[in-house]
Chains A and B, each alone.
Chain A
Amino acid sequence: MSMTTETASAGFAARPGSSLERIRVRRLAKNFGALEVFRDVNFDLGEREIVTIVGPSGCGKTTLLRCIDGLLPVDEGEIWCGREQITEPIAGVAMVFQHFGLFPWKTVYDNVAYGLRMAGVSAAELAERVPQFIKLVGLGGFEHAYPWQMSGGMQQRCGLARALAIEPSVLLMDEPFAAVDAQTREILQFELLRIWETRPTSMIFVTHSIEEAVLMGDRVFVLKGRPSNIAKVVDIDLPRPRSRETLRAARFTELRELVWSTLMKEAREAEFHLER
């Protein structure tokens, strides 16, 4: 996956040799008023690739992801998904939220069906497709449960099923397991890896856990600086399918330490930083 620096305008009509990019981000910048969040962010996301983004808190990881989903306008640069420029949420991209974002008045079935219904899928087709994805995430039998009856882990499984159900070409994960307890988090990580093996979708995965970033990703982007940009790209050459074994591999520890050392200095600066 080359980090080409060709301009986005040239890339639209013809993209020689790299038709496998799912997302291309060029010279992206975002400000909140006078605060520059990130600047000059460039990367490509390949087909079936998982890119994880780590960075100190407040570095704009989530903001970047929300820009890519089309939820936030960018101040500079461009985001492309295939031939479509993202300025609004598009059909081929789905997001899994840290806060789960389940509708409390909808059952598991109706929550999972939500994206499909918004896309105008017929009730007959829903009845066929929705249960399939509920089973995929291991919620079979809980179709009629409400979010408030479920544990955090179950809720995020539901959120994942809702995103997968629209069969997106790109999945955006916004710290999806940050709100669940440590054990559940580990279970869900391996669940996600299992699901990814059955249907490999391109994914951008934002996390603040270095371990999670290395376990999940094909590449880890370290986002740092104020305004931040991609300071380092770490290629994760751990074999797939990954499992609990992966956590014990010497190479895993090595890569984790590499990402950690890149992040460390910045993390200290971020911790001892006063808001103006």
Chain B
Amino acid sequence: MSAVNEAPAGAATVGQRPTAAAKKDRPPIWQRSAFYRYGFLIVILLLWEILGPLVNPIFFSYPSKIAVAFVNLTLSGELIYYLLQSLQVLFYGLSFAIVIGIPLAVLMARVKPVDWALELPVNALYATPMVALVPILVLWFGIYMTAKIIVVFLFAVFPILINTYQGVRECDKNLLEVARSFRSSEWQTWKEVLLPFAVPYIAAGIRLAIGRGLVGMVIAEFYTTISGLGYMITRYANIFEMDKTFVPVILLMFLGVTLTALLKRLERRIAPWSRADT
């Protein structure tokens, strides 16, 4: 966060960060993070491939067999069909969590009575294992899309709410004073100061929300109508086709990792001033 004094402050270099310079002398391969990151993954997959076939196929499967199942399920269109159903639920659930969570958090952080009123319910709901609520929600909202979206929403909204709240509360008091000195209205202060300041916190909240949202999504699919990757998992597990059971599981892992990485990228682009994490 410190001012970059040493950078050549020419107009031409302004706007881009010095990344190219670091490329020249890279450390040897055994000192690079990628070596361990991907190396370990490959070791796991190899071990799994070698040891997996030794287990009764009713209980377990192994990478090459899963890959074949993946291709088959993709070609038949089944995987895409269920994936799209899941993504739809995830998309709506997360969107509502963002659209409701962020303004509510700023309101709580800025308006004391709202904070006093909502602090306990929010903390209580955040501490509640959401899984416990799923059967009740199904009872209330049925077994179709609505219920699933609500489940994802409830899983996802609290990390966003709590992180945004934290970000707004920790907003630089000096900057708030500047905003006041230049006669910003409360709404202008939200837009120009509080929300931009909280962007890194909000992004961290959304990252957590994606993880929890995926959990909510699968659980909702276990409990409700025949749809989504969650349903695929239960169905193939019930008929002991382990290779096909693993396909959606691995796809979910992939989904979680990809979405989180995408968000990190986006975060660095829209909040270049926060260089907190690498």
Contacts and interface: CB of A to CB of B under 8 A. Distances in A.
B3 A115 contact: no
A94 B180 CA distance: 11
B8 to A, nearest CB: 10
Contacts, number: 81
B273 A148 contact: yes
B5 A151 contact: yes
Contact of B188 (A71, A97, A101, A118): A118
Overall SS of chain B's interface: loop
Contacts of B2: 148
Contacts of B239: none
A144 B178 CA distance: 21
B184 interface: yes
Contact of A118 (B5, B177, B183): B183
A220 B271 CA distance: 44
B129 interface: no
A239 interface: no
B193 interface: yes
B4 A91 contact: no
A90 B188 CA distance: 16
Interface string A63-74: 000000101000
A123 B4 CA distance: 30
B14 A99 contact: no
A267 B193 CA distance: 38
B68 interface: no
Given A151-B3, A151-B5, A118 B15 contact: no
19 contacts: A71-B181, A89-B182, A89-B183, A91-B183, A94-B181, A97-B177, A101-B174, A101-B177, A103-B175, A103-B178, A103-B192, A142-B9, A146-B15, A146-B273, A147-B3, A148-B3, A149-B3, A150-B4, A162-B182
Interface of B: 1-5, 7, 9, 11, 14-15, 174-175, 177-178, 180-185, 188, 192-193, 196-197, 199, 271-273
